[in-house]
Amino acid sequence: MTAVQKVAIAGAGVAGLASAIFLARAGVEVDVFDAQPSLPTRGSGITLQGNALRVFDALGVWDEIAAAGNAFEGLNLRAPGPGAPIVAALPDLKTGGPDYPSAMGLSRPDLARILLAAVEEHGARVHFGRRVTGLTPSGDAVDVEVDGAPAGRYDLVIGADGLHSTVRELVGIHVSPERNGMGIWRTFVSLPEGVDRTELYYGGPVYIAGYTPTGADTMYAFLVEKAEDRSGASPEEARRIMVEQSRAYDGPWNSIRADIEAGADANYTWFTRHLVEAPWNRGRVVVIGDAAHSCPPTIAQGAAQGLEDAAVLTELLIDRDAVDQSLWDAFHERRVARAEAIVDASAQLAQWQLDGVRDADASGLMFRVAQITSVPA
């Protein structure tokens, strides 16, 4: 018998959908509420480390993920300037173990589509265009309000509703993402010939220029700059800025610029950091994923940490017969320190770049993170 029979999940992102799959597969009745009108059909890409791939296998979607994405080993560093020479080819540790590639690039819409299909296959209900607006404890349950109207009584509510989580605020966790001073331009383009792994350029007019293959013929590319208010930029202006900032980068960036000039979207967001200190729950409401923690994507662990949150939480809910303090203690013991280590390391890598520290032990820090994440959560 599971510890819960009926669960509401706020947010149809990676952590929310993964939680829904795990629970529904175990026979739990699940409702997912997401404020967006539908799954995104457009967007850039995402880099998934081996520990994320390990969770996808546990979810039963690894074959679909592997078919849709672009798996690779290692990382290339290129120099800015003519020819963009490769100055280092770095190996990646297999944080998911020997059965999975070191990393994979995947388009975000493809990832969402695969996870949603698995959610529906296992009988969970997903309600788009619906926002959780109220939570009222009621004994061993929570009364949930959606769009201002009663939506039902649930044994547990999982807040996986992202950086600006409504659930987090509703339960009185007043922690907000803090901007770190970096902003990132992203675009989704065709795959240039010869690109078979993530490649990063350090130096030049921006902090990082990079790209990751996401499929047989697709790639997402990004430029990390000193953050500016880009909210007023039109789509045409956004493309122009990204083209101009990338002119110092040769090699595959020539193909990327051509796609942007031909109309590929250029999107801008700020890097943020936050961590909810334990406990992540208030009674029978708990926050996970970006609702509980966020960090600059300098180690590409954001999605992986949300997936690990979902895997650990649902494992405990399925294997135990009561939602009690021992369950929450076990959850926090396995997740909070690990998430904090990732947040701190990711933020440190970004700060070294902001401060122009040239002798920082970035490779040593990344190796330590890889050692942490190679051990299952």
Residue 273: the pLDDT is 96
Average pLDDT of span 309-334: 98
Q: What is the pLDDT of residues 62-100, one digit of tens each?
A: 999 999 999 999 899 999 999 999 998 888 789 999 999
pLDDT of residue 366: 87
Q: Comparing 363 with 297, which gets the higher pLDDT?
A: 297
- Model pLDDT, residue 1: 83
* Per-residue pLDDT at 363 exceeds 90: no
Query: To the nearest whole number, what is the mean pLDDT of the chain?
Result: 96
Residues 7, 157: Cα–Cα separation, whole Å: 6
Determine how many CB atoms are found less than 10 A away from the CB of residue 338.
19
Read off the pLDDT of each residue in 188-214 and give the average, rounded to a whole number: 95
How high is the pLDDT of residue 41? 74
- C-alpha–C-alpha distance, residues 236 and 238, integer Å: 5
Express each pLDDT in 110-142 by its tens digit: 999 999 999 999 999 999 999 999 999 999 999
Of 247, 104, 263, 251, the residue nearest 189 (C-alpha): 263
Angle between the 235-245 and 253-261 helix axes, to the nearest 10 degrees? 160
